[in-house]
Amino acid sequence: MVSPVGISMLGSGNVGGGVVAALNAASNRYERSVGRPLQLRQVLVRDLARQRDGLTASQLTTSFDDLISDEGTQIVVELMGGEEPAYEYIARALASGRDVVTANKEVMAKHGAKLLALAAEHEVRLLYEASVGGGIPIISPLSRDLLANEVSALTAIINGTTNFMLTAMADGGVDYKDVLAEAQRLGYAEPDPTADVEGFDASYKLAILCGLAFGLELFPEEIERQGISLLASQDFIYAAELGYTIKLLARARLDDGHLIASVCPTLIYHDEPLAKVDGVLNAVEIEGNLVGHVLFEGPGAGPTPTASAVLADVLALARDIVADRRPLAVTPLIPAQVLPSASHKSRFYIRLTVPDQAGVLAQIAGALGERGVSIASVLQFEADDLDDAAELVLTTYLAERGAVNDALKQIEEAQFVQRIGNLMPIAGLGGAR
């Protein structure tokens, strides 16, 4: 009798349920693909009493020690989420000689280099396609298909929750609080949406992508990060007037050996491909010296797209086990030399509420000009919530973010304005890419 490839799972939530359903529904096809049957042996859960579709009581356990001591388990699939105890369990699984598949972007962003080195030490593999982009294949192309390229830049929309919210705000003039409530009602946003709306999730994914694209170890805290919670409906109206839409862009590029990395709301020209990525879709654009620009687009979250990526990794590992192939050597990452956010250069969008009186624009232009920031365009609108006030929307030519921040601080302290509404970089059509 042919011995099966044994798989055990850590966690059985929405994604885990999708993996179990696919393993049961496509077992014959997977067996033909691998050359042996796949056997789901144990699943680590919190509550044994809760019934789970496709699983028997004998497959469930609340003990990681029992799971990792099972001699028939060859592949461990981690779908718990969060940093701990997931990191500890992944490390212990690798050290025990098991291959591991994970969808955990936080663990891979913070500890990926250590875990990959641990996998190499024990001659096993750690695969993590589902940690970025859900169902979009991006980890594998960067690891293999684009390996001959020297990647100079990447730009991505890699959080489906915020992309859904920004699309709704752009299409319907909906305020942030209302669209967040709708995203939570539909299940796109968590009850505590902080990780998504403040850009933490996207920064984890960008750190992972930078390791693959540039061979650099970048930690999430080194990434300039700004969420979407300060955006107002009028920002989308003004952006459209200027020919742009607003996306939460994760961007990284090399500049003379230094890495520039950011996650922040960004104006992007409406004809750019990324501007058309709407709803819960994700997209990653890679710029390589041989291939030019390549765009990967697809569903970035959800049980079935993520299960697709997880199972692709499981099948790849199972084939290697059956063929007795040894894992490839892992190239160590080089610590990234990260440029501080103040030195990031871009064109900028600035929204200000000002007294409706003569001379204000000249004072603002003077403060910006003193720091070498030139105004490219000016739009003026009525301020709906204040009497005798107007909203100014300025765009700048290429400038350093630190210079713009310093000028706005002076403008605020000198009380040239009633409030500073928003500051965002502009990408595309002359913006920094």
DSSP line for 166-219: HHHHHHH---HHHHHHHHHHTTSS-SS-HHHHTSHHHHHHHHHHHHHHHSEE--
The per-residue pLDDT for 237 is: 94
Number of H helices, E strands in the chain: 14, 19
pLDDT in tens, 341-378: 999 999 999 999 988 777 889 999 999 999 999 999 99
How much is the pLDDT for 339? 93
CA 35/CA 3 separation, integer angstroms: 10
> Looking at residue 170, what is its pLDDT?
95
In order of start, what are the domains of the chain with their CATH numbers? Answer: 5-134+303-333 (3.40.50.720), 139-299 (3.30.360.10), 343-427 (3.30.70.260)
Q: Which residues are catalytic?
A: 205
- β-bridge pairing 5-10 and 38-44: parallel
Tell me the whole-structure pTM to 2 decimals. 0.94
300: its two tokens: 């970035």
- Please report the pLDDT score of residue 242 as a whole number: 95
User: What confidence score (pLDDT) does residue 386 get?
Assistant: 67
Report yes or no: 264 and 203 within 8 Å, Cβ to Cβ. Answer: no
Whole-angstrom Cα distance, residue 331 to residue 228? 36
> How far is 72 from 96, CA to CA, in rounded Å?
13
Which of these, 378, 367, 376, 370, lies nearest to 346 by C-alpha position? 376
- Placement of tokens 């859904």 in the chain: 164
pLDDT value of position 428: 65
Please list the ranges in the chain whose pLDDT falls under 70: 1, 385-387, 428-433
What whole-number distance in Å separates Cα of residue 132 and Cα of residue 201? Answer: 10
CA gap 163, 182 in Å, rounded:
13
Q: Which two tokens stand for residue 166?
A: 């920004």
pLDDT number for residue 172:
83
Model pLDDT, residue 235: 96
